[in-house]
Amino acid sequence: KAGVTQTPRYLIKTRGQQVTLSCSPISGHRSVSWYQQTPGQGLQFLFEYFSETQRNKGNFPGRFSGRQFSNSRSEMNVSTLELGDSALYLCASSLDFGRETGELFFGEGSRLTVL
């Protein structure tokens, strides 16, 4: 079956702009979570959505937001971009949040560069 699809794969923005990233989970998966990966920081949890509801949120400023649609597709938005927002943004899906099995299925990521 098709994996997790993230679009766009690469994008370049300038400071102050906003960006929207999209994630299509594996069919049947209702949980979508987002992560920011930067060198030396590993994967930082942004938020998790399940059935269109945000269930958990990481320690990121309010400029980072997300939503989930009825078909489980998810978007994340970053407003007023800063240079430090340059990162690989990863989306992961699972049947539930995967706490018991621990298994998340990741997309290939969206590489954001802020100039």
Partner 1 sequence: DQQVKQNSPSLSVQEGRISILNCDYTNSMFDYFLWYKKYPAEGPTFLISISSIKDKNEDGRFTVFLNKSAKHLSLHIVPSQPGDSAVYFCAATGNQFYFGTGTSLTVIP
Q: Which is nearer to partner 1, 27 or 101 (CB)?
A: 101
Q: Which is nearer to partner 1, 33 or 74 (CB)?
A: 33
Residue 106 tokens read as 């990741």
Q: Which residues bind partner 1 (CB under 8 A)?
A: 4, 33, 35, 40-45, 48, 56, 58, 90, 92, 97-109
Minimum gap (Å) between residue 76 Cβ and partner 1: 15
Q: Would you list the DSSP string of 66-95?
A: EEE-TTS-EEEEE-S--GGG-EEEEEEEES
Q: Which is nearer to partner 1, 101 or 113 (CB)?
A: 101
H helices then E strands: how many in the chain? Answer: 0, 11
